[in-house]
Amino acid sequence: MNYYMGIDAGGTKTTAVMYDEFDNVVNSIKVGPGNFRIDKKEAISNIQESINRLIQTLPVKENLKGIAVGVAGISNNEIDELKLKLEKIYKMRVVVTSDYDLAYKAAFKNKPGIIVISGTGLVLYGKNEKNSKKIGGWGHILGDEGSGYELVVRMFKKAILTNENDQPIPLITNKILKKLNISELEEIKPFIYGNHKNEIARFAEDIFIEAEKGDLFSIELLEETASIIVEKLKIMKETMSPDAPIEYTLKGGILEGSSLVKNSIFKKTASLDEGFKFINPRESNKAARYFIQADENSFKYAVGLMSGTSLDGIDVVLCEINNSDLDTNLRQVDFETFDYPKETLVNLRTLLDQNNTTLRDISTLNVDLGYAYADSVKKICYKNKISLEKLAFVASHGQTVFHDATGNKEMNRSTLQLGEPSIIAFETNTLVVSNFRSKDMAAGGEGAPLVPLTEWILYQDQHDKVLLNIGGIGNLTYLPSDGDKSKMVGFDTGPGNMMINEGMSHLLKKDYDNKGEVASKGQLIIPMLEELMNHWFIKKTIPKSTGRDEFGKEYTLEIIKKYKDEKIEDVIYTFTLFTVKSIVKGIKDILKTGRTIDRLLIAGGGIHNITLMQNLKEQINDMGIEVYKQEELGYSSDAKEAIAFVILANQTLSDKPGNVPSVTGANKTVKLGSVTYPE
């Protein structure tokens, strides 16, 4: 049996319901408020509590197909933020939307209609075949006429008028004042100005009670509320369906708590003869299965493959993706780093050393890597019980074995990535997009970095930020808060882990400095750092890109030989600080252009090097920039580059460009990659 969870987070409570695949209620709970505009931190806490408590009641957690969350007062940016947070915690499909959209889908799915939700606040939401419209939801200061909050405030306003005209204060007002232990109407100001609107709106129920008893003042208040809502309904209908009948439904505490308001709306809409047809509301949470299944059907599975300059394995990410450009939606299903086959890794290292390499070696390695990549695709799909037939495409960056973005009079600029895409396509029976860098270079660019466009897609928000990836090579992307791609900057800063790893391999026969433990015992070799920082690439202006040809084994061994009398831990520490200093210089170079930076988001294998991270944070914090690991605000650091090439392949298959000329130096935007078909 499959299960679906629906969360309706509103101004007074968060209701969570578990349904089976036939929409039968399995379990439900209610916790505190979930309105983001009232208290975002409390809302998130209550949403998580409701999910946790319901999950505990499931006999088999794996049978929960997803969670649909409708939240009051949530913005579009916050929708994405909450979705990422919950998907990271619960490792499953999560759909986040507004509370009114959740309620609308429960009532109408995608049919035309209008839903009125009047509770603490008020919102009307309608859709037809072409567009949608929302009225209300502005909050109590900018309006909320027809809401529970506004009803109670209107009651007090009328009471103030009667009091100022030396008339008796209405009965309902006196009863509420008594509940609040207030003896004088004048004393109501601290309560109104000092409480959230949900605390004020709760007294709407007292007005309902008195109206049912026949209190004329209370009845008048509720009739006014009905008239306000009907006027808004008329506006909605004029947009949604001016010439034909339209269905509408009523939800929320005001409309479900008072038959007087609801009946008055029925009478008023009937007398208008404007084609309103009422349908009974459904519980908002019942839209959970619809949202989750629709979300599942809108996405396609894709695998991204990345094997970087650090040679620490094949990064493989399984994703779900849909749409393109800023409308791209991506969910990381799983991520693994698979080891290279031993012989393939030995041959790859030999090739990269550029000693005694033959054409046969290059050709053979190209094929061997193709089989290794194909095997990695099969492994991650098998692990996640996803058949290869469900894959829409594989994005394979390939293994860079040569990259020259500068060239000279005798030799054209060029780049070469190995990992035969035809083998991947044949072995997985899946379309493959590969060879991403060449088209940008053909257009005059450096072919790198290519990740910035994907960062623009995934991380664009209200902050001016730099995204840093510390892989074999370090690279930066500057994202302006206004989303203007022409202001973006991206470039390689120099070595990330590459020289540290080469130093560890040569001096200590280890693949890397685990957590920076060796470096933590060392001291700075000042002349060595000065020499490294004087490397021509570090001084080069942007755009710029580099790789193993500049900072690989040959250059590293040259430096080690020159400082052979120094302690090993001092050499490793100095390589580590070189990475830090080159990154800091890159950030300062961005600031020198007049750009501002609020945040630095760090990803890549370098985040596991504690010594590197401590030194980097100290220097960045001194610049007044907030530092975060990428996991704190988004996707997996380790999976970042593999995810990036899924997005770039998706751009290509959507007939959209994948480069950013201001970053790579290309003279125009171009679609990246070569497409290899399975048959």
20-48: per-residue pLDDT in tens?
888 899 999 999 999 898 889 999 999 99
CA–CA dist 394, 367 (Å, integer)? 17
Average pLDDT (283-292) is 89
What pLDDT score was predicted for residue 605?
86
What type of residue sits at position 37? R
What residue segments make up the domains of the chain, in order of their start? 3-106, 117-282, 299-451+641-676, 452-638
Q: Which CATH superfamily is domain 299-451+641-676 in?
A: ATPase, nucleotide binding domain (3.30.420.40)
**Measured between alpha carbons, how far is residue 237 from residues 137, 243, 358, 423 in Å?**
18, 9, 74, 57
Instruction: Give the burial class of 471: count Cβ atoms within 10 A of its Cβ; 0-12 exposed, 13-18 middle, 19 or more buried.
Output: buried
3-state secondary structure of 203: coil
What pLDDT score was predicted for residue 44?
95
CA–CA dist 33, 45 (Å, integer)? 10
Position 403 confidence tier, pLDDT thresholds 50, 70, 90: confident
What's the number of CA atoms in the CB half-sphere (13 Å) around residue 427? 20
Give DSSP secondary structure letters for 288-301. HHHHHHHHHHH-EE
Instruction: Give the burial class of 203: count Cβ atoms within 10 A of its Cβ; 0-12 exposed, 13-18 middle, 19 or more buried.
Output: buried
Average pLDDT (101-123) is 90
Q: Please give the mean pLDDT across all residues of the chain.
A: 90
DSSP state of 146: T
What pLDDT score was predicted for residue 119?
86
CA–CA dist 50, 109 (Å, integer)? 24
Q: Are 82 and 43 in contact (CB under 8 A)?
A: no
Question: How many residues are recorded in the chain?
Answer: 679
3-state secondary structure of 166: coil
CA–CA dist 146, 120 (Å, integer)? 10
Average pLDDT (188-208) is 90
What's the number of CA atoms in the CB half-sphere (13 Å) around residue 28? 18
Q: Are 211 and 223 in contact (CB under 8 A)?
A: no
Residues facing residue 96 across a β-bridge: 69
Position 645 confidence tier, pLDDT thresholds 50, 70, 90: very high
Average pLDDT (86-93) is 86
First to last CA, the chain: 38
pLDDT by residue (tens digit) across 608-625?
999 999 999 999 988 889
CA–CA dist 152, 408 (Å, integer)? 78
What pLDDT score was predicted for residue 634?
61
Strand pairing report for 113-118 and 122-127 = antiparallel
What pLDDT score was predicted for residue 57?
85
**Does the structure show a pLDDT above 90 at 578?**
yes
CA–CA dist 430, 329 (Å, integer)? 21
CA–CA dist 329, 323 (Å, integer)? 6
φ, ψ (nearest 5 deg) of residue 331: -125, 125
Average pLDDT (95-108) is 92
What pLDDT score was predicted for residue 4?
93
Nearest one of 123, 73, 98, 143 to 250, comparing CA atoms: 123
Q: Are 261 and 225 in contact (CB under 8 A)?
A: yes
Position 228 confidence tier, pLDDT thresholds 50, 70, 90: very high
Q: Report which listed range, 192-206, 219-233, 457-471, is most confident.
A: 219-233
Q: Are 528 and 649 in contact (CB under 8 A)?
A: no
CA–CA dist 462, 458 (Å, integer)? 13
What type of residue sits at position 429? N
- Number of neighbours of residue 162 by Cβ within 10 angstroms: 15
**Does the structure show a pLDDT above 70 at 157?**
yes
Distance from chain centroid for Cα 455: 11
What pLDDT score was predicted for residue 519?
96
CA–CA dist 615, 630 (Å, integer)? 18
Nearest one of 129, 306, 123 to 229, comparing CA atoms: 123
What pLDDT score was predicted for residue 241?
86
CA–CA dist 336, 93 (Å, integer)? 19
**Does the structure show a pLDDT above 80 at 60?**
no
**Measured between alpha carbons, how far is residue 34 from residues 116, 159, 175, 442 in Å?**
19, 31, 29, 52
Q: Give rounded-to-5 percent helix, strand, coil for the chain.
A: 50, 20, 30
| E strands present in 12-112 | 14-20, 25-31, 64-71, 94-98
Q: Which CATH number fits domain 3-106: 1.10.940.10, 3.40.50.720, 3.30.420.40, 3.90.1150.10?
A: 3.30.420.40
Average pLDDT (326-330) is 86
CA–CA dist 475, 533 (Å, integer)? 16
**Does the structure show a pLDDT above 90 at 507?**
yes
**Does the structure show a pLDDT above 70 at 187?**
yes
Buried residues in 656-677 as b, exposed as e (16+ CB within 10 A)? bbbbbbbbbbbeebbbbbebbe
Residue scoring higher pLDDT (321 or 312): 321
Say yes or no: domain 117-282 is CATH 3.40.50.720.
no
Q: Are 524 and 577 in contact (CB under 8 A)?
A: yes
What's the number of CA atoms in the CB half-sphere (13 Å) around residue 547? 21
Say yes or no: domain 452-638 is CATH 3.30.420.40.
yes
Average pLDDT (481-507) is 91
What pLDDT score was predicted for residue 612?
96
Residue carrying structure tokens 């009739």: 223
Distance from chain centroid for Cα 607: 20
Q: Are 172 and 218 in contact (CB under 8 A)?
A: yes
What pLDDT score was predicted for residue 638?
80
Q: Give Cβ neighbours of residue 52 (< 8 Å, ≥ 6 apart).
A: none
Position 8 confidence tier, pLDDT thresholds 50, 70, 90: very high
Q: Are 149 and 200 in contact (CB under 8 A)?
A: yes
What pLDDT score was predicted for residue 273?
67
The pTM of this model reads: 0.63
Give yes or no on whether 299-451+641-676 and 452-638 have one common fold. Answer: yes
pLDDT by residue (tens digit) across 409-468?
778 888 899 999 999 999 999 999 999 999 999 999 999 889 889 988 888 777 899 999
Angle formed at CA 431 by CA 428 and CA 433, multiple of 5 degrees? 115
Q: Which two tokens stand for residue 429?
A: 């029976």
Q: Which two tokens stand for residue 21?
A: 């695949």
Angle formed at CA 562 by CA 557 and CA 566, multiple of 5 degrees? 100
Q: Which two tokens stand for residue 527?
A: 């002349």
Position 298 confidence tier, pLDDT thresholds 50, 70, 90: confident
What pLDDT score was predicted for residue 590?
93
Q: Is 23 left (phi over 0), alpha (psi -120 to 50) or beta?
A: left
3-state secondary structure of 121: coil
Q: CA gyration radius for the chain?
A: 31
Q: Give Cβ neighbours of residue 363 (< 8 Å, ≥ 6 apart).
A: none
